[in-house]
Structure 1
Amino acid sequence: MFRTALRNVLAHKARLLMTVLAVMLGVAFVSGTLVFTNTISDAFKKSSAKGFDHVDVAIEPGIAQDVGDKIGKSPELTQALLDKVAKAPGADSAIGVVNGFTALAGKDGKLIGDGFQSEGGNYWGAKDPRYPLKSGRAPQGENEIALDADTAGRAGYEVGDTLRLSVDGPVLTPKITGIFTTDDGNVAAGGSLALFDTKTAQKLFHREGAYDEIDVKAAAGTSQDALRAELEKVVPKDTGSLTTGQQLADDQAQRISEGMSSMRTMLLVFAGIALFVGVFIIANTFTMLVAQRTRELALMRAVGASRRQVTRSVLLEAAVVGAVAAVTGLAVGVGIGAGMRALVGTLGAPVPAGPLVITPGTVAAALGVGILVTMLAAWLPGRRAAKIPPVAAMSSVHAPATTRSLVLRNTLGALLSGAGVAAVLVGSQAKTASDGQLPMGLGAALLVIGVFVLTPLLSRPLIAAGAPVLRVFGISGKLARQNSVRNPRRTAATASALMIGLTLITGLTVIAGSVQQAIDKMATSALKADYVVSMANGNPLSADVDTKLAAADGVTATSPLRDAPARIDDTTESLTGVNGSAIGKLTNLKVDQGSFKVGGTDVVVDDKTAKDHGWKAGSRFTVSYEDGKKQGLTVSAVYEGNELIRGILLDNTTLAPHRTSSEPADMRVMVKTSGGASDATKDRLEKALGDNPAIRVQDKQEISNDIAQIFTLMLNMLYGLLAMAVIVAVLGVINTLAMSVFERSQEIGMLRAIGLERGGIKRMVRLESLVISLFGGVLGIGLGVFFGWAAGELIGSSLDTYALILPWGRMAVFLLLAAAVGVLAALWPARRAARLNMLAAIKSE
Structure 2
Amino acid sequence: MFRTALRNVLAHKARLLMTVLAVMLGVAFVSGTLVFTNTISDAYQNSSAKGFDQVDVAVTPKSQEDEGNTINKTPELTQAQLDTAAKVPGAASAIGVVSGFTAMADKDGKLIGGGFQSQGGNYWGAKDPRYPLTSGTAPHGADQVAVDSETAKRAGYKVGDTIRISVDGPVLTPEITGIFTTDDGNVAAGGSLALYDTATAQKLFGKTGTYDEIDVKAASGTSQAALKSALDKALPTKLVETETGGKLADDQAEMIASSMSGLKQGLLVFAGIALFVGTFIIANTFTMLVAQRTKELALLRAVGASRRQVTRSVLIEAFVVGVVAGVTGLVAGIGIGAGLRSLMNTLGATVPDGPLVISPGTIVAALAVGVVITMLAAWLPGRRAAKIPPVAAMSSVHAKATTKSLVLRNTLGALFSAAGVATVLAATAMDGSDGQAPMGLGAVLLIIGVFILTPLLSRPLIAATAPVLRIFGISGKLARQNSVRNPRRTAATASALMIGLTLITGMTVVAGSLQKSIDKMASAAISADYIVSMANGNELSTDVDKRLDSTAGVTSTSPLRNAPSRIDGTTEYLTGVNGSAIGELTDLKVDSGSFKVGGDQVVVDDDTAKSYGWKAGSDFTVHYEDGKAQQLTVAGVYQGNELIRGIMLDNKVLTPHLTDPGDMQVLVKTADGASGATKDKLEKALGTNPAIKVQSKQDLSDDIAQIFTLMLNMLYGLLAMAVIVAVLGVINTLAMSVFERSQEIGMLRAIGLDRKAIKRMVRLESLVISLFGGVLGIGLGVFFGWAAGELLGAKMPTYELVLPWARMAIFLLLAATVGILAALWPARRAAKMNMLAAIKSE
Q: What TM bracket, shorter-length normalisation? A: over 0.9
Q: TM-score, normalised by structure 1?
A: 0.98
Q: TM-score, normalised by structure 2?
A: 0.99
Which aligned pairs between 1:403-414 and structure 2 lie closer than 5 A? 403-414=403-414
Aligned-pair distance for 1:68?
5.8
For 1:402 and 1:539, how far apart are their aligned partners in 2? Answer: 69
Aligned-pair distance for 1:230?
0.5
Asked whether the 8 Å contact 1:524–1:704 carries over to 2, the reply is: no
* 1:230-251 CA-partner distances (Å, limit 9, x unpaired): 0111110122110100011111
Aligned-pair distance for 1:388?
3.3
Pair 1:719-2:707 in alignment: no
For 2:443 and 2:656, how far apart are their aligned partners in 1? Answer: 56
Aligned-partner SS, 1:233: helix
Aligned-partner SS, 2:234: coil
Q: Among residues 692, 696, 700, which one is paired with 1:699 in the alignment?
A: 696
Bigger mean CA deviation after superposition, 410-419 or 145-154:
410-419
Which aligned pairs between 1:579-618 and structure 2 lie closer than 5 A? 579-618=578-617
Q: Which amino acid aligns with 2:766?
A: S
For 1:827 and 1:131, how far apart are their aligned partners in 2? Answer: 62
Which aligned pairs between 1:193-272 and structure 2 lie closer than 5 A? 193-272=193-272
Q: Which amino acid aligns with 2:763?
A: R
* 1:461-502 CA-partner distances (Å, limit 9, x unpaired): 111100111111111111111110111111111111000000
| 1:813 corresponding residue in structure 2 | 810
Which aligned pairs between 1:374-389 and structure 2 lie closer than 5 A? 374-389=374-389
Bigger mean CA deviation after superposition, 555-564 or 741-750:
741-750
* 1:512-547 CA-partner distances (Å, limit 9, x unpaired): 111111112112220110000000000010111111
After the TM superposition, which parts of structure 1 deviate over 6 Å for at least 4 consecutive aligned residues? none
Aligned-partner SS, 1:605: strand
Aligned-partner SS, 2:484: helix
* 1:69-119 CA-partner distances (Å, limit 9, x unpaired): 331111110111111111111000000000111000110011111211110
Distance 1:311 1:222, change over 3 A: same
For 1:842 and 1:617, how far apart are their aligned partners in 2? Answer: 89
User: Identity rate of aligned residues, in percent?
Assistant: 78
Aligned-partner SS, 1:597: coil
* 1:550-580 CA-partner distances (Å, limit 9, x unpaired): 1000111100000111100001110110000
| 2:456 corresponding residue in structure 1 | 457
| 1:515 corresponding residue in structure 2 | 514
| 2:568 corresponding residue in structure 1 | 569
Aligned-partner SS, 1:109: coil
For 2:380 and 2:518, how far apart are their aligned partners in 1? Answer: 48
| 2:106 corresponding residue in structure 1 | 106
Asked whether the 8 Å contact 1:299–1:394 carries over to 2, the reply is: no
Pair 1:147-2:144 in alignment: no
* 1:177-231 CA-partner distances (Å, limit 9, x unpaired): 0001111111111110000000000000000000000000000000000000001
Pair 1:399-2:396 in alignment: no
Q: Among residues 729, 742, 746, which one is paired with 1:745 in the alignment?
A: 742
Aligned-partner SS, 1:725: helix
Aligned-pair distance for 1:751?
1.3
Distance 1:395 1:514, change over 3 A: closer
Asked whether the 8 Å contact 2:417–2:448 carries over to 1, the reply is: yes
For 1:40 and 1:802, how far apart are their aligned partners in 2? Answer: 38
Aligned-pair distance for 1:266?
0.1
Aligned-partner SS, 1:108: coil
Aligned-pair distance for 1:301?
2.0
Which aligned pairs between 1:336-347 and structure 2 lie closer than 5 A? 336-347=336-347
| 1:789 corresponding residue in structure 2 | 786
Aligned-pair distance for 1:815?
0.2
Q: Which amino acid aligns with 1:400?
A: K
Asked whether the 8 Å contact 2:294–2:395 carries over to 1, the reply is: no
* 1:414-450 CA-partner distances (Å, limit 9, x unpaired): 1111111111111111122x21122211111111111
Aligned-pair distance for 1:310?
1.8
Pair 1:685-2:705 in alignment: no
* 1:125-155 CA-partner distances (Å, limit 9, x unpaired): 0000000000000000000000100000000
Aligned-partner SS, 2:643: coil
Which aligned pairs between 1:172-183 and structure 2 lie closer than 5 A? 172-183=172-183
Q: Which amino acid aligns with 1:790?
A: A
Asked whether the 8 Å contact 1:51–1:183 carries over to 2, the reply is: yes
Distance 1:308 1:397, change over 3 A: closer
* 1:567-609 CA-partner distances (Å, limit 9, x unpaired): 0000111011000000000000011111110011010000111
For 2:765 and 2:17, how far apart are their aligned partners in 1? Answer: 22
| 1:657 corresponding residue in structure 2 | 656
* 1:700-734 CA-partner distances (Å, limit 9, x unpaired): 10011011111111111111110010010011111
For 1:65 and 1:395, how far apart are their aligned partners in 2? Answer: 80
| 2:441 corresponding residue in structure 1 | 442
Asked whether the 8 Å contact 1:69–1:629 carries over to 2, the reply is: no
| 2:170 corresponding residue in structure 1 | 170
* 1:737-796 CA-partner distances (Å, limit 9, x unpaired): 123222222221221111111111111111110000000000000011111111111111
For 1:527 and 1:249, how far apart are their aligned partners in 2? Answer: 45
Asked whether the 8 Å contact 2:67–2:569 carries over to 1, the reply is: no
Distance 1:304 1:695, change over 3 A: same
Aligned length: 842
Asked whether the 8 Å contact 2:622–2:629 carries over to 1, the reply is: yes
Distance 1:69 1:489, change over 3 A: closer
Q: Which amino acid aligns with 1:815?
A: L
| 2:484 corresponding residue in structure 1 | 485
Asked whether the 8 Å contact 1:70–1:629 carries over to 2, the reply is: no
Asked whether the 8 Å contact 2:69–2:567 carries over to 1, the reply is: no
| 2:89 corresponding residue in structure 1 | 89
Bigger mean CA deviation after superposition, 673-682 or 285-294:
285-294
Aligned-pair distance for 1:833?
1.3
Distance 1:554 1:396, change over 3 A: closer
Aligned-pair distance for 1:24?
0.3
Aligned-partner SS, 1:472: helix
Pair 1:19-2:16 in alignment: no
Asked whether the 8 Å contact 1:555–1:673 carries over to 2, the reply is: yes
| 2:493 corresponding residue in structure 1 | 494
* 1:5-50 CA-partner distances (Å, limit 9, x unpaired): 1121111111111111000000000000000000000001001100
Q: Which amino acid aligns with 1:624?
A: H
Aligned-pair distance for 1:654?
0.9
For 1:610 and 1:168, how far apart are their aligned partners in 2? Answer: 33
For 2:258 and 2:317, how far apart are their aligned partners in 1? Answer: 40
Bigger mean CA deviation after superposition, 806-815 or 64-73:
64-73
Aligned-residue RMSD, C-alpha:
1.1
Asked whether the 8 Å contact 1:166–1:693 carries over to 2, the reply is: yes
For 2:224 and 2:519, how far apart are their aligned partners in 1? Answer: 52
Asked whether the 8 Å contact 1:523–1:642 carries over to 2, the reply is: no
Aligned-partner SS, 2:195: strand
* 1:143-172 CA-partner distances (Å, limit 9, x unpaired): 000010000000000000001010001100
For 2:51 and 2:829, how far apart are their aligned partners in 1? Answer: 62
